[in-house]
Structures are given as C-alpha cells and as structure tokens.
Structure 1
Amino acid sequence: MSLGDEHDGQTRTRLPEPGPGAGRPPARSSRSLIAVLGVVVLLVAAIALANRGDGTPDSPSSGANPDTPTRSTAPTAATGVRPVPGKNGLIPTGFARDEQGAQSAAANYAVALGSVDMFQRGPREGIVRAVHDPAVADGLVRSLDDSYSAGFLADVGLNPDGTAPAGLTFVSRTIPVGTKVKESTADTATVEVWCTGLVGLAGEGSTKPVTTTWFTITEKLRWVSDDWKVVSSAQAEGPTPVNGDNRASIADDIAKAVEGYGGFTYAR
C-alpha cells in the first residue's frame, strides 16, 4: 500500500497516486493502503490504537498507578503496562530524553499512525497532532485529508466516512518488530522501526481479505515541549521473511481475533 512525497518544510507525506481508486488495481489495494498509513507517512502505515480515548491525560497525578495494566472499554484498545506515565487519548506520552525513549516513542507513534482511526477525518487529525511537532502538524493534516479521499476509501472497501460496510470489520494494525537508532543528539533522533502490518476487511463476504506486509519506517524526531515528536517520516519495503506454512484462517476467525485481542504499549 507508488506514492509521492508532498509536504512543505521537513515533513514528507506519502500520498496515493492520482486516478480511480488511488491509482491502484484491486489486487494491490493492501499495498496501497499500507503505504498511505504508510505511516502516515507517515505511514505505513497496532499500541493498536484503533479507537481513541476521551483525550483526558492519564498520569500519576490522577491517581493511576503507571505500573498497573490498563485497558479501555474498546475491544482493540492498548493493553499492558505503559512505559510512560501519561497518554494523549490512547497514545503514550512523556518518553525519556534518551535513545531508549526515542525508540519507544517511534514504535508507539508508528502504531498510532497505522491504526484504523487514521481513515476517519476527526480521529486522524487528533492522532497527527498528538505525535507531530506542531510546526509541521497543520500542513500534514491538510495533506492527509486530501490523501484519504472518497475514491481511495472506496478502493480500500470503506464507506465515504472511513467506516467499514455493515457486517465487516476493517483491520489496520502496525506491529513493531524492532527499533534501531541511526542518529541522535540531545534534541533530535532518527529511529528506524521494523514492522509487520495487517490490513483488509474481515468478515463473511469480504472481497478484500486481511493480508500481511513488512516494512521499515524511518522517523525523524525532535524534542518538543518535554517529549519526542515526529518531524518527518519515510517508509521502505521489508525486510520480509519467507512465508510460513500456516493455513489461512477464515474471515470470521480473523474478525473475532481483531476484536478480541488488544494491542500493546511499546517500550525499549
């Protein structure tokens, strides 16, 4: 899920090529989709932050124990112990100002930017502003609104508002496999996040089954307002392992798995 880079300043946004259905034939809709998620690239665009919280920060001052596993009422909300004490909606915040903190931030942000919420205008803007440097957020929001056009959403199999058709479950998860710091200073860091992803429509009668992809996201981060924020991001295909011999599950099993298994908060 070819895209062109389109954005002012330092942020590069990978947009779908023009043409019907974002310029991709149905057989490659999953590849086109991942690229736009493409982490938002940002993305490529699983933390599976497929459902946003109420935006209320969760911090020690609110009486919550940061070492206590938490789970939202949403079935695909992030689960597990958080590596940081705060969050913006369901996106962790307050990462350490060191290489490990930058790696954790990059992994969590990749997941958020590859989530189902990126396909709906309001939730998408909330995610973009939560994880990006404010200096680039406005332009990126506008670019992504153009990218997630009605034509692109239709090609993916979604309704014009980004929701799944009745009876189907839309799956879009980015799962970090590992992270690596390429460069770092006291105020900046460049982190590579090796990921696998799930994308497609699960459920009986789906013509766009859930498939897997492998890609590496390179995020350039800046220390802004006491936290790491994304300045720009790029994506490359792979490294991709050899497919195993697992038998593909039926669509209903995939839908039940997505609804029943929450994601994680990632730390290094």
Structure 2
Amino acid sequence: MSPGDDHGYGDSGRTGDEYSTIGGTRQTRTRLPGSEGGDNHGRRPARSSRSLVTVVGVVVLLIAAIAFANRGGGGGESGDDAPGRSGRKAGSAPTAPTGTKPVAGGAGPIASGFAHDVQGAQSAAANYAVALGSAEMFRANSRRDILRATHDPAIVDGLAADLDTAYSPDFLKNVGLKEDGTAPSGLSFVSRTVAVGTKVAAQDDASATVEVWCTGLVGLAGQGSTKPVTSTWFTITQKLKWVGGDWKIESSNQTEGPTPVNGDNRASTADEIAGAVEGYGGFTYAR
C-alpha cells in the first residue's frame, strides 16, 4: 500500500498492500493501569520489495475480500475528538482509565461482552484488530470462528465464503504455507498484530467508529526461510454496531502508518525470531 491509500470494505479486488492487517491470537492476560480487576485481555508489509511481494500479501487480500463482502461499508468519519454516550470526549488522552470493567466474558480466546460505552467500543476494536491480524486467520476452521466472534452476524456467512475463496491453496502456497494454512516443517508462520492505541472518531447509542493504531509482524521464521518476518505500522478504522448486547464489526478499512523512524536495533536471526514467537504469547486488551 502506498502512503495515503485507504482500502475499505467498499473496495473490491486486491489492494496494493501485500501485508494487510487482517489475516496467533495466542493469548496472555495483562492489566492496564487503573483497571479494577479487568481482564485485559489487523499488518501491513514492509515496503514493496519484489522479493516480498508474494509473501506480504496475506492480510491485504483479506481486507480486499472483506471489501468485496461489505460493498458500500467502510470508512468512518475522522475526528480527533468525538463525544461518547456519556458526553465525554476521547481526545488527548484516549487511553485514560475510567475504572469501568469493559469486558464481561469471552468467545474462546477473543474477549466479548464489552461495555456499551466509549471505552467498551475501543476495547472491542483493539481486541478485534488483534484477532483478525492473527495466524489463525489463514486456517479455514479458526478463521470462521474469528469472524463469528468479531463481526455482525448478518454479514458473517457471506464474508466467510468470500474469504474461503481468497485463501485459496495457490495463495497460501505463494505465502509459503501448506494448503491447510500451516507452516512447512521447521518453520514458524508469524502473523501478529499489536494495538498501540485507540481513538473514537464517532459514536452514538447504536454504533461507533474506532481507529486502532497498530504495529504488526508477519513472515516465516526459522532456518532457510526466504520470507523473513518484517514489522509494519498501520491504522485500522472499524465501524462497530451494537448488536446482540455487544459491539461487532459492521465494516472496516486500513491505512498506512503512522510509522516511526526505525531504531538502531540489530536484526535478530531467524532462530531468535522463531524462539520469541513460540515463547511469548500475544496479548488481549481491555481498557
């Protein structure tokens, strides 16, 4: 994806981004400052180098499929400050704790039962970005479970069918995976999204538009990998709908960045990356 491109659900076909965000959700529980006993509990690629073009295509293809399945949906209005149901604004301190427990339960490894307010919508959006950016999205059974846990039930079946087509055997082979979406022997497939922050662009009693600033990892780790793990930065804008007593995704789009300047860290070896991915579980989020 080139800077400034915005691929929403309303677009069809492939996007220019070879590593879009949606695409393991190994889960670790963490606790954010100020949460009272709360369980705290979607990538984009390196710049378009020819050698990575086929590798980095996974998540973007998912976004394109979602775009096809949700024609006409998509971007929410942008705004730095937007009032929530309580009349409070999410602006300069969008992650400030409020003391309200935003998660009541879970759908397997994905949080559910989010509070019907500003912080609940942000928590839902962050959790969903992590789940949709996971390696489990590349396997048919787990992909359908993730879609059911994160999306409006009215669009799940059509979306799942389109994604089954998108994740074809040929596509998975081009990414370096086997036909069932698993990595070849001796390699570890990495597809992990980390939510850096959230911001509410718009919200009323029945809907919310939440921007999630993310960084992600994607690629194959291990000796002999020709598709190394790379890091990316992107922002996902999710339009959420209050349905069945919870926030669910109605449509979504993704843009590049904001991207910080790379530091001077030494790039780790393939074995070091593989060991880190296997040894450190991913996070789920709650505000």
Aligned to 1:54: none
Aligned to 1:125: 144
Aligned to 2:58: 33
Find out whether 1:87 has 2:94 as its counterpart: no
Match of 2:210 among 191, 195, 217: 191
Unaligned runs of 5+ in 1: 18-23, 43-81
Aligned to 2:262: 243
Paired residue type of 1:162: G
Instruction: Determine if contact 2:6/2:254 at 8 Å carries over to the other structure.
Output: no
Q: Give the Cα–Cα distance (whole angstroms) in 2 for the partners of residues 4 and 242 of structure 1.
A: 22
Paired residue type of 2:131: A
Deviation string 1:208-256 (CA, Å, 9 cap, x unpaired) is 0100011110000000111000000101111111111100000011011
- Helix, strand or coil: the match of 1:223? strand
Paired residue type of 1:27: L
Q: Give the Cα–Cα distance (whole angstroms) in 1 for the partners of residues 102 and 281 of structure 2.
A: 17
- Helix, strand or coil: the match of 1:264? coil
Q: Equivalent residues in 2 for 1:228-267 (5 A)? A: 228-267=247-286
- Helix, strand or coil: the match of 1:179? strand
Q: Equivalent residues in 2 for 1:159-238 (5 A)? A: 159-238=178-257
Instruction: Determine if contact 1:40/1:233 at 8 Å carries over to the other structure.
Output: no
Could you tell which deviates more after superposition, 217-226 or 148-157?
148-157
Distance 1:12 1:122, change over 3 A: farther
- Helix, strand or coil: the match of 1:254? helix
Paired residue type of 2:52: A
Paired residue type of 2:54: S
Paired residue type of 2:58: L
- Helix, strand or coil: the match of 2:143? helix
Distance 1:259 1:157, change over 3 A: same
Unaligned runs of 5+ in 2: 16-48, 68-100
**Cα distance, 1:118 vs. partner?**
0.3
Q: Give the Cα–Cα distance (whole angstroms) in 2 for the partners of residues 193 and 222 of structure 1.
A: 16
Q: Give the Cα–Cα distance (whole angstroms) in 2 for the partners of residues 39 and 197 of structure 1.
A: 18
Q: Equivalent residues in 2 for 1:24-173 (5 A)? A: 25-38=50-63, 41=66, 84-173=103-192
Q: Give the Cα–Cα distance (whole angstroms) in 2 for the partners of residues 83 and 185 of structure 1.
A: 17
Aligned to 2:32: none
Instruction: Determine if contact 1:33/1:199 at 8 Å carries over to the other structure.
Output: no
Q: Give the Cα–Cα distance (whole angstroms) in 2 for the partners of residues 25 and 149 of structure 1.
A: 22
Task: Using the aligned pairs only, state the percent identity.
Answer: 61
Paired residue type of 1:175: V
Which structure has greater strand proportion? 1
Q: Give the Cα–Cα distance (whole angstroms) in 1 for the partners of residues 138 and 206 of structure 2.
A: 31
Distance 1:223 1:98, change over 3 A: same
Distance 1:130 1:197, change over 3 A: same
- Helix, strand or coil: the match of 1:265? coil
Q: Give the Cα–Cα distance (whole angstroms) in 2 for the partners of residues 13 and 258 of structure 1.
A: 33
Aligned to 1:21: none
Instruction: Determine if contact 1:39/1:113 at 8 Å carries over to the other structure.
Output: no
Q: Give the Cα–Cα distance (whole angstroms) in 2 for the partners of residues 30 and 239 of structure 1.
A: 22
Aligned to 1:64: none
Structure 1 segments (4+ residues) deviating >4 Å: 1-6, 11-15, 37-42
**Cα distance, 1:4 vs. partner?**
11
Note the aligned Cα RMSD (angstroms): 2.6
Q: Give the Cα–Cα distance (whole angstroms) in 2 for the partners of residues 144 and 120 of structure 1.
A: 10
